[in-house]
Amino acid sequence: MTPTLSHFARGARLPAHSTRTSPIYDPATGRVAAHLPLADATDARRVIDDAAAAAGAWGERSASDRAQVLFKFRELCLANRDAIARLISNEHGKVLADARGELQRGLEVIEFACGIPHLMKGEFSDGVSRGIDMHSLRQPLGVVAAITPFNFPAMVPLWMLGPALATGNVVVLKPSERDPSCPLRLAELWSEAGGPPGTFNVLNGDKEAVDALLTDPLVQAVSFVGSTPVARYVHEAAGKHGKRVQAMGGAKNHCVVLPDADLAQVADALMGAAYGSAGERCMAISIAVVVGDATADALVARLAERVRALEIGAPTEGNLDMGPLVTSAHRDRVAEYVSAGVAEGATLVVDGRAHPRVAGPGFFLGGSLFDRVTSGMSIYQDEIFGPVLCVVRVSSADEALALCDSHRYGNGVAIFTRSGGAARDFAHRVQCGMVGVNVAIPVPLAFYSFGGWKESAFADHNQHGMDGVRFYTRVKTVTSRWPEGTSGASFVMPVLR
């Protein structure tokens, strides 16, 4: 019988009140593997209330005490690494090694958050005036919501959970309805690690669950990662309800290739960055901007051979390059973009629609490679989020930079060159949140912060790093004096001397 999953609250799985469900697929076979309850207002009320009940005590614990739970949680995640990776691969479709990699990157944020006693320290000024000291401190917000996308069911929740829990907040996680089993397992491991009931909760669902979180007065802050239209909506709706909000959106990451670049290195980097995880990464490279026809001819020839040779199969089958896409609807949408690119006049060098695995079972699509793409085409403008790489030919480095800057997304960008001067100039001038120099996927480590510019993020604070600590805390500034006797009332604005 196909199992039905649940929510997670009070430290245990919580059966749903709502009877609405959505199917969770095994993308390698196309079969329905489980049903997911989609929360209604009653489910949301229960989970948010459970979280609120736990907030005070957790926030009052010392930062060192909370860090001990994070240490133990990290240990348990590592001990269960293979099983967690399997949960990810079975529902997302990414290959096992990639699933292990995303867990590792997520756990790096937990490791960073284990330093919370140091990270949360405030400031102190001794004697700002005669006999007066001033200090600031950071305090948790209370109940915070984390709303996450399908493509990183471990890493993105951990980006939010690490700083939120370490700083003393309690979390209601609303994971993607496509692959919720990993987030549910993370919640169980948090409980096993000694995380008090109600501190890490999971509310499964769709827009109804999200809207409940965006409007509930007990929810103090919302962290969202997903597509740009939903990010914009979440930013506006949560803001309208007086919440602190950070909403990361979609991407169309460019990789600029200058004529002096080492093309063997570029081809290696582009293969992983464009086709790894079947292109379903917000930091995937989907546009290669190549300077000069000779460079473009040589690079396209190298790539074509390797795209044709991509090893594609069930994600748990062995040492493969790419698994299936997440759903048949998404696979079909990506295939439609390939057709649109042909209709718009781009040169289709490798056609992923012709791959033998496309016939099924499962939601497979081969890698596609386009050459001579221009900026007016939909395959250039839109986020396809699949294994499709578009080569755009330009005649100068300045033209390449202008192209990157004119795109509405500004998540990640890369440049490949042997010239330090050209790379420095590009990194300094480009209008984009994360820049790689001879690095195709420049995902910042946990002790830096992650975030795009332009329509890739609607937020004052990035994810993780010190920005995570700032987002999940309020600053309080205390001015104190301990006078002996009285000095009389003063009716003028106090001036410190």
- Which region holds residue 434: left if phi is over 0, alpha if psi is between -120 and 50, else beta? beta
- Looking at 7, 86, 138, 174, which residue binds ligand NAD (CB under 6 A)? 174
Distance between CA atoms of residues 180 and 13, nearest Å: 13
Residues 81-140 within binding reach of ligand NAD (CB under 6 A): none
For residue 429, state whether it binds ligand NAD (rule: CB under 6 A). Answer: no
**Nearest distance from residue 199's CB to ligand NAD, in Å?**
21
Select from 14-22, 172-180, 305-313, 423-431 the region that touches ligand NAD (CB under 6 A).
172-180
Select from 148-156, 185-193, 420-428, 469-477 the region that touches ligand NAD (CB under 6 A).
148-156
Task: Report which residue type is found at 152.
Answer: F
For residue 147, state whether it binds ligand NAD (rule: CB under 6 A). Answer: yes
**Nearest distance from residue 16's CB to ligand NAD, in Å?**
15
- Looking at 456, 467, 469, 472, which residue binds ligand NAD (CB under 6 A)? 456
Structure tokens at 453: 């510019």
- Looking at 20, 31, 207, 240, which residue binds ligand NAD (CB under 6 A)? 207
For residue 176, state whether it binds ligand NAD (rule: CB under 6 A). Answer: yes
Position of minimal CB gap to ligand NAD: 226
Binding mask 9-48 for ligand NAD (x = CB under 6 A): ----------------------------------------
For residue 468, state whether it binds ligand NAD (rule: CB under 6 A). Answer: no
Does 182 qualify as catalytic in the annotation?
no
Q: How many CB atoms lie within 10 A of CB 258?
A: 22
**Nearest distance from residue 450's CB to ligand NAD, in Å?**
6
Binding mask 214-253 for ligand NAD (x = CB under 6 A): -----------xxx--x--x--------------xxxx--
Distance between CA atoms of residues 28 and 314, nearest Å: 5
For residue 167, state whether it binds ligand NAD (rule: CB under 6 A). Answer: no
Distance between alpha carbon 130 and the CA centroid of its chain, in Å? 49
Structure tokens at 458: 């609607």
Active-site residue (options: 282, 390, 404, 432): 282
Q: How many CB atoms lie within 10 A of CB 293?
A: 10
Distance between CA atoms of residues 202 and 13, nearest Å: 9
Distance between CA atoms of residues 422 and 64, nearest Å: 46
- H or E element, residue 290: strand 285-291
Structure tokens at 24: 């969770």
For the chain, give me the number of helices (H) and strands (E)?
Answer: 16, 22
Residues 280 and 262 sit within 8 Å (Cβ to Cβ): no
Distance between CA atoms of residues 401 and 45, nearest Å: 49
Please, which residue, 168 or 226, has the CB nearer to ligand NAD?
A: 226
Distance between CA atoms of residues 377 and 373, nearest Å: 7
Distance between CA atoms of residues 172 and 343, nearest Å: 45
> Nearest to residue 445, comparing CAs of 155, 69, 128?
155
Residues 373-392 within binding reach of ligand NAD (CB under 6 A): 383, 385
For residue 149, state whether it binds ligand NAD (rule: CB under 6 A). Answer: yes
* Strands 285-291 and 388-394, sheet pairing: parallel
Residues 189 and 73 sit within 8 Å (Cβ to Cβ): yes
Say what the alpha-carbon torsion angle 197, 200, 205, 209 is, to the nearest 10 degrees: 90
Select from 149-157, 259-267, 356-364, 421-429 the region that touches ligand NAD (CB under 6 A).
149-157
With CB under 6 A, what is the number of residues at the site for ligand NAD?
A: 28
Please, which residue, 236 or 405, has the CB nearer to ligand NAD?
A: 236
For residue 452, state whether it binds ligand NAD (rule: CB under 6 A). Answer: yes
Please, which residue, 23 or 292, has the CB nearer to ligand NAD?
A: 23
Catalytic residues: 282
Positions touching ligand NAD (CB under 6 A) are 147-152, 156, 174, 176-177, 206-207, 210, 225-227, 230, 233, 248-251, 282, 383, 385, 411, 452, 456
